[in-house]
């Protein structure tokens, strides 16, 4: 025979949600302004381990050979003959003036109030016009869904109070994600501290990216005049995917 | 001097596949061929009568095939309904989804109005399809006013299609080969080349060499216009006045595949021009060369344009597969065009000699 529940314990348990809501409510009331998400990539801290690439692929179940983020890696040899490694972690820039939104014929791509540029999968027709319009090569057509795919700043995680998978997993703490509207956020402080050392990819495209870089080699901020070690590279058409 | 080797990166493949090339090619061909049908069928110029009827056939074949190729590129054709449920009129592509039915619908109406007397004559011949011809001819009247109105609607549709296909490509500043104000004009001039080529092909199949001189004259003019536009593009690129064109030319010149393709295009286009001028009676050769040129320019623009890296250094090394997204897609759309040719010529005599 089971014992009847202790009325004291039941009262305590049923009161928890009320207490939780009571604690959370003042915080929400004080923060009336919606966040504006952005990311800062400190390339000096990146070791090109591709943990972010893998974490993103696992988290978002991207098809084999398709990536929402990747760390492009370059061997740069100076005139003096010294060779060093330069890296450019790349993802959707969640631009303030996103060209992908303008061209989408059905309005499936949109910019949310919190700054994230997202795709409404129900509406997307898979025409790939947004893929063509993106100056950063950040979009692709997912061949499993036949629809446009891209980085979402891991919106599903952010809404649950978590960090994007690439940020969470970054070994060197090179990716800083946060609210650009909040002057007390880590990203705002770091951007302020870095001052003129902050740059963006392809500033000439006038898209006003929300992904910022510290330590970015200007020669690598767009199309790079150089050769590619194509045979060493991942080629979905050659290696499957 | 600093040298850079991209040791790890990746190239995204083209997302506008050969289907897109087929669409842009066929719709341009159709619009241009439609305009060739006007002098004989709307303005009733006797010397244009035969040529215009053949041009209408060419416009129908390519105009009915083109939207199929476009829908095939959507991965799931039923999705086209979203173009009409949620149009974003800030996008040229959204406008295009309205221009296509305007053109194709009014082209079909125009063709039917032009063919009604023919259909009635076919009905008067005893045959198994006499009843069908009778019904479809709907009295068989030759209503010039209705033909004029349908032609006006189709002309508007054709002009808007030629405008939107060029603008849709031109506005993409992320693609250096596309981002030139000369692209819409080049699409227009080569659409004329293709439209004349398709009409020449239909004339060749019908054995109407008498229309060849007029068509070859037009072909020479369209090719001359194409060369002038190309010269302007090269001048802008080489002088550095057009920064996107300069970047595109630098990139393509370094690619052995695309540099060879470009030289091949220029060489064959020059040969076509020479042939059209020197041998105005040519039918098959100028027809096939003109179609080849109009198609190849779009192939270079779309597939070549998507191969140039936007970020990093890695080119996408495109190779034409044999599946539905490659050779089968091209062959399939040409097969549909052939099917339409067989059906349309099997049911309706387009050559007045056959009708008589």
Q: What band does B316 get if pLDDT is binned at 50, 70 and 90? A: confident
Q: Under an 8 A CB cutoff, do A70 and B311 touch?
A: no
Mean pLDDT computed over B98-110? 98
d(CA A17, CA A12): 10
Q: What band does A84 get if pLDDT is binned at 50, 70 and 90? A: very high
d(CA A126, CA B315): 23
pLDDT at B268: 98
Which has more confidence, B322 or A162? A162
Instruction: Check if A213 contacts B (Cβ < 8 Å).
Output: no
Beta carbon pairs, A and B, within 8 Å: 183
Secondary structure (DSSP) of A155-215: HHHHHTT---HHHHH-TT--EEEEETT-TTSHHHHHHHHHGGGEE-S-GGG----SEEEES
Mean pLDDT computed over B314-318? 79
- A48 lies in a domain? yes
Secondary structure (DSSP) of B129-156: THHHHHHHHTT----HHHHHHHHHHHHH
pLDDT at A234: 59
Q: Of chain A residues 13-72, which have a CB less than 8 A from chain B?
A: 48, 67, 70-72
A143-153 pLDDT, tens per residue? 999 999 999 99
Q: What's the distance, Cα to Cα, between the start and end of chain B in Å? A: 77
d(CA B3, CA B108): 59
pLDDT at A32: 62
d(CA B50, CA B55): 9
pLDDT at residue A156 greater than cutoff 90: yes
Q: Which of B177, B222, B169 is nearest to B199 (CA)?
A: B222
Which chain A residues touch B303 with a CB distance below 8 Å?
none
| Beta strand A83-90 pairing with A70-77 | antiparallel
Is the Cβ–Cβ distance between B16 and A128 less than 8 Å? yes
Domains of chain B from N-terminus onward: 18-310+333-355 (1.20.1630.10)
CA dihedral B85, B90, B96, B101 (to 10 degrees): 40
Q: Under an 8 A CB cutoff, do A125 and B12 touch?
A: no
Mean pLDDT computed over B249-256? 90
Mean pLDDT computed over B6-27? 89
SS3 B239: helix
Is the Cβ–Cβ distance between B100 and B74 less than 8 Å? no
pLDDT at B292: 98
Instruction: Check if B174 contacts A (Cβ < 8 Å).
Output: yes
pLDDT at residue A241 greater than cutoff 50: no
pLDDT at A237: 57
SS3 A89: strand
The residues near A12 (Cβ < 8 Å, ≥ 6 apart) are: none
Which has more confidence, A239 or B347? B347
pLDDT at residue A228 greater than cutoff 50: yes
- A193 lies in a domain? yes
Tell me how far CA of residue A168 lies from CA of A84, A198, B66, B78, B169, in angstroms. 27, 22, 48, 39, 39
d(CA A234, CA A231): 8
Give, for A228, the enclosing helix (H) or strand (E).
strand A227-228
pLDDT at A18: 47
Q: Total structural domains in chain A?
A: 1
Q: Under an 8 A CB cutoff, do B10 and A235 touch?
A: yes
Say whether pTM exceeds 0.80. yes
A2-41 pLDDT, tens per residue? 444 444 555 545 555 544 444 444 444 445 678 999 999 9
Q: What band does B333 get if pLDDT is binned at 50, 70 and 90? A: very high
Mean pLDDT of chain B: 94
Q: What is the span of the domain harbouring residue A136?
A: 37-218
Size of chain A, expressed as the number of residues it contains: 241
| Torsion angles phi and psi, residue B11, rounded to 5 | -110, 130
Task: Provide, rounded to the nearest whole percent, the portion of chain B with pLDDT above 70.
Answer: 99
pLDDT at A238: 56
Q: Of chain A residues 84-123, which have a CB less than 8 A from chain B?
A: 86, 88, 90, 99, 102-108, 123
- The CB-side HSE value for A192 (13 A sphere, CA atoms) comes to 10
CATH number of the CATH domain containing A206? 3.30.70.20
- A70 lies in a domain? yes
d(CA A26, CA A4): 37
Is the Cβ–Cβ distance between B40 and B95 less than 8 Å? no
A94-136 pLDDT, tens per residue? 999 999 999 999 999 999 999 999 999 999 999 999 999 999 9
- A1 lies in a domain? no
SS3 A40: strand
d(CA B174, CA B238): 20
pLDDT at B14: 87
What is the Rg, in whole angstroms, of the alpha carbon atoms belonging to chain B? 22
- A52 lies in a domain? yes
Q: Of chain A residues 153-182, which have a CB less than 8 A from chain B?
A: none
């Amino acid at each position: 025979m089971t014992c009847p529940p202790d009325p004291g314990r039941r009262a305590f348990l049923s009161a928890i949600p009320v207490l939780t809501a009571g604690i959370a409510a003042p915080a929400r009331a004080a923060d009336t302004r919606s966040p504006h998400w952005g990311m800062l990539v400190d390339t000096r801290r990146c070791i090109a381990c591709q943990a972010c690439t893998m974490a993103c692929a696992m988290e978002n179940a991207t098809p084999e050979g398709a990536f929402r983020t990747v760390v492009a890696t370059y061997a740069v040899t100076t005139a003096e003959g010294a060779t060093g490694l330069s890296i450019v972690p790349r993802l959707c820039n969640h631009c303030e003036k996103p060209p992908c939104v303008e061209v989408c014929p059905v309005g499936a791509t949109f910019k949310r109030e919190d700054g994230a540029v997202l795709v409404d999968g129900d509406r997307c027709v898979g025409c790939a016009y947004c893929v063509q319009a993106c100056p950063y090569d950040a979009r692709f057509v997912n061949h499993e869904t036949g629809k446009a795919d891209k980085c979402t700043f891991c919106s599903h995680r952010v809404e649950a109070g978590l960090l994007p998978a690439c940020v969470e997993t970054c070994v060197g703490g090179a990716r800083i994600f946060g609210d650009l509207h909040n002057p007390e956020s880590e990203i705002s402080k770091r951007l302020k501290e870095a001052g003129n050392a902050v740059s963006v990819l392809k500033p000439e495209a006038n898209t006003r990216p929300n992904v910022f870089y510290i330590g970015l080699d200007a020669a690598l901020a767009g199309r790079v005049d150089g050769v590619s070690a194509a045979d060493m590279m991942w080629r979905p058409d050659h290696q499957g995917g | 001097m600093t040298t850079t080797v991209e040791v790890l990166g990746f190239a995204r493949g083209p997302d506008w596949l050969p289907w897109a090339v087929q669409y842009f090619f066929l719709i341009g061909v159709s619009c241009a061929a439609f305009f060739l049908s006007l002098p004989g069928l709307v303005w009733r110029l006797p010397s244009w009568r035969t040529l215009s009827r053949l041009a209408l056939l060419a416009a129908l074949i390519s105009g009915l095939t083109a939207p199929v190729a476009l829908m095939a590129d959507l991965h799931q054709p039923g999705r086209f309904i979203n173009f009409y449920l949620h149009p974003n009129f800030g996008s040229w592509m959204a406008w295009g989804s309205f221009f296509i039915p305007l053109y194709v619908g009014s082209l079909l109406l125009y063709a039917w109005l032009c063919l009604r007397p023919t259909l009635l004559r076919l009905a008067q011949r005893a045959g198994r399809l006499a009843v069908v011809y009778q019904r479809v001819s709907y009295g068989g009247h030759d209503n010039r006013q209705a033909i004029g109105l349908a032609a006006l609607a189709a002309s508007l549709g054709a002009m808007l299609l030629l405008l939107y296909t060029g603008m849709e490509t031109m506005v993409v500043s992320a693609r250096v080969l596309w981002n030139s104000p000369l692209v819409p004009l080049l699409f227009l001039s080569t659409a004329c080349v293709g439209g004349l080529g398709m009409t020449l092909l239909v004339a060749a199949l019908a054995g109407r060499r008498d229309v060849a001189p007029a068509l070859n004259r037009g072909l020479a003019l369209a090719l001359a216009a194409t060369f002038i536009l190309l010269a302007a593009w090269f001048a802008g690129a080489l002088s550095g006045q057009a920064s996107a064109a300069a970047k595109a030319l630098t990139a393509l010149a370094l690619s052995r595949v695309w540099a060879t393709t470009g030289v091949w295009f220029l060489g064959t286009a020059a040969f076509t021009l020479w042939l059209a001028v020197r041998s105005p009676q040519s039918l098959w050769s100028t027809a096939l060369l003109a179609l080849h040129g109009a198609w190849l320019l779009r192939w270079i623009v779309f597939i070549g344009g998507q191969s140039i890296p936007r970020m990093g250094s890695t080119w996408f090394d495109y190779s034409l597969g044999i599946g539905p997204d490659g050779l089968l897609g091209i062959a399939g759309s040409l097969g549909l065009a052939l099917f339409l040719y067989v059906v349309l010529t099997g049911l309706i005599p387009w050559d007045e000699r056959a009708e008589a």
